Amino acid sequence: MFEDSWSPTKNQDGSSHKNSTSVTLASYHQSSSEDSAIQSASDSESPQYELHLSKDFANRMNMAHNPREEAIHAAHNPSAGSVRQSPIDIHKANAVFDPQLEQNPLRISYPTKLKNCWMENTGHTWKLNVGDSNLSISGGPLFGRCQLAQIHAHWGGADSKHGSEHLVNSKSYAGEIHFVHWNTSKCESIDVAPLHPDGLAVIGVCFKIGRAHPELEKLTNAMKYIQYSGQQVRLNDSKIDMRQLLPHDTSRYWTYEGSLTTPPYNDCVTWIVMKNKIEISQQQLDAMASLYQDSQDKLPTGMSMDQCQKILNNYRPVQHQSRVTLRASFQLPQRHEGKTHQVKFTS
Ligand SMILES: [Zn+2]
């Protein structure tokens, strides 16, 4: 039975453990190490890759708005200097309508509500790990089937004027949710997906401040249980409908061949950036911005919560050196005839 309150109770197995506390319809535990989180990954996912991703996101988010560290890291990651780096500023005039995207529409198959998922504070974002293997996308710009592995978000600060990774006509939004899929048709496992030029497919959905989002509320309500880095909460019984987190109209999007926006910045992502945005409330954004970068046991003695570093501005700036082919799945007001062409993004 679902209850709005997330009051801690005993574990689902009836036991009691200082690091594992169940809440109604969602068990919560504060992991003492990243490994314990990894071990609870589903069989369909690679533990190593989950760990890898966690660390990548951690490293990357640390560098957000730290050009020096990003430059140092880029020197050790050849992909960081490539011409298909993400995110980009999507200028509508540079996008070319591709009729094939209309004829072979993007198919989003999120048929069931999540039964096996958990959310964690990575120290740099919240991440909802999808344990179910039957959520996938295909069609559109994709070759084969891409399975949903996790979603996470990027956001700015309290002003809600910036936070999205992708810009549209140089406009930023309060934040952006990423739906990360790996190509099961081309890759043996999610481990090797970053080694393929189209190993990952990420749907980007920008959000702006407005009405509260009912489905996202299931996540933001639980963020009080993952305040510190390394903490996790299981949401198995929340029955999250991932489809509801997407815009109602998913037929209109921009797509390009880009990269991870986190170290090691592999050129492995087919980006699908939705034209339509979703609305979330200021309170829901505040819930994300209330998460801390630090783990509870690493806090300096005597430091109050107010002095801890919160997760803010965890987005990578647009990469002006990107030279990508930007396609639109929908007709533009000023239609460009003919085939797609190379577009250079300059500031
Ligand atoms: Zn992301």
Query: Among residues 239, 296, 301, 260, which one has the least CA distance to residue 115?
Result: 239
- Tokens matching residue 216: 């996202």
Of the candidates 28, 23, 4, 29, the residue with the CA atom closest to the CA atom of residue 221: 4
Does any domain span residue 316? Answer: yes
Within a domain: residue 345?
Answer: no
Q: pLDDT value at position 238? A: 86
Phi, psi of 274 (to 5 degrees): -70, 140
Ligand 1 mean position, distance from CA 314 (Å): 9
- For residue range 300-327, what is the model confidence (pLDDT) as tens digits? 666 666 667 899 999 999 998 888 999 9
| 162 inside domain | yes
d(CA 169, CA 4): 40
Is the pLDDT at 179 greater than 90, yes or no?
A: yes
Active site residues: 124, 152, 154, 165, 178, 261
Residue 120 has pLDDT above 80, yes or no: yes
- Which residues pair with residue 202 across a beta bridge? 180, 271
Tracing tokens 């997330």 back to the chain, one arrives at 6
- Is 208 domain-assigned? yes
Question: How far apart, in whole angstroms, are the C-alpha atoms of residue 247 and residue 207?
Answer: 10
Ligand 1 centre distance from Cα of residue 211 (Å): 23
What is the structure's pLDDT at 74? 53
Return the DSSP state at 316: P
pLDDT at 19 over 50: no
Lowest mean pLDDT among 63-77, 87-101, 184-198, 323-337: 63-77
Half-sphere exposure in the Cβ direction for 144 (13 Å, CA): 15
Ligand 1 centroid vs 177 CA: distance in angstroms?
Answer: 7
Cross-strand pairs, 153: 177
- For residue 232, the domain's CATH number is 3.10.200.10
Neighbour tally for 268: CB within 10 Å: 26
Inside any domain, residue 341: no
pLDDT digits (tens, 9 = 90+) for 223-267: 999 999 999 999 988 899 999 999 999 999 999 999 999 889 999
Host domain of residue 250: 8-298+308-332
Between the CA of 29 and the centroid of ligand 1 the distance, in Å, is 24
Average pLDDT of 80-107?
93
Average pLDDT over all residues of the chain? 79
- Report CA 206 to chain centroid distance, whole Å: 11
The residues, ordered by sequence, that sit 6+ positions from 214 with a Cβ below 8 Å of its Cβ are 244
Distances (CA, A) of 22 to 33, 118, 155, 235: 19, 13, 29, 10
In this predicted structure, the answer to whether residue 129 has a pLDDT above a threshold of 70 is yes
Answer with the residue of higher pLDDT: 41 or 199: 199
CA 260 to ligand 1 centroid distance, Å: 8
Q: Which pTM value belongs to this model?
A: 0.77
- C-alpha span between 130 and 128 (Å, rounded): 6
Is residue 344 in a domain?
Answer: no
Q: What is the Cα–Cα distance from 235 to 159, expressed in whole angstroms?
A: 30
Does residue 136 carry a pLDDT above 90?
yes
pLDDT of residue 303: 67
Q: What is the pLDDT of residue 12?
A: 34
Is the pLDDT higher at 234 or at 50?
234
Q: Does some domain include residue 49?
A: yes
CA of 180 to the centre of ligand 1 (A): 8
61: CA distance to ligand 1 center in Å? 10
1 falls within a domain: no
- Give the distance (Å) from ligand 1 centre to CA of residue 164: 10
Question: Does 86 have pLDDT greater than 50?
Answer: yes
Q: Which residue has the higher pLDDT, 33 or 55?
A: 55
Please give the biggest Cα pair distance in the chain.
Answer: 66
Q: How many domains does the chain have?
A: 1
Distance CA 60, CA 309 (A): 16
Rounded to 5 degrees, φ, ψ at 244 are -70, -15
Residues 6+ apart with CB under 8 A from 303: none
Q: Among the listed ranges 29-33, 55-59, 122-126, 168-172, which one has the minimum average pLDDT value?
A: 29-33
Measure 1 CA to ligand 1 centroid, in angstroms: 33
Packed helices 67-75 and 47-63: angle between N→C axes, nearest 10 degrees: 130
Summarised one tens digit per residue, pLDDT across range 260-294 is: 998 899 999 999 999 999 999 999 999 999 999 98
Residue 20 pLDDT exceeds 80: no
Map tokens 């790990």 to a residue: 129
Ligand 1 centroid to Cα of residue 255, in Å, is 16
Long-range CB contacts (within 8 A, 24+) of 3-8: 4/221, 6/221, 6/222, 6/224, 6/225
Tell me the one-letter amino acid at 344. Answer: K
Q: Which residues pair with 213 in a beta bridge?
A: none
Give the closest residue to 258 by CA, choosing from 199, 190, 314: 199
Q: Is the pLDDT of residue 133 over 70?
A: yes
Query: What's the token pair of residue 158?
Result: 């309290």
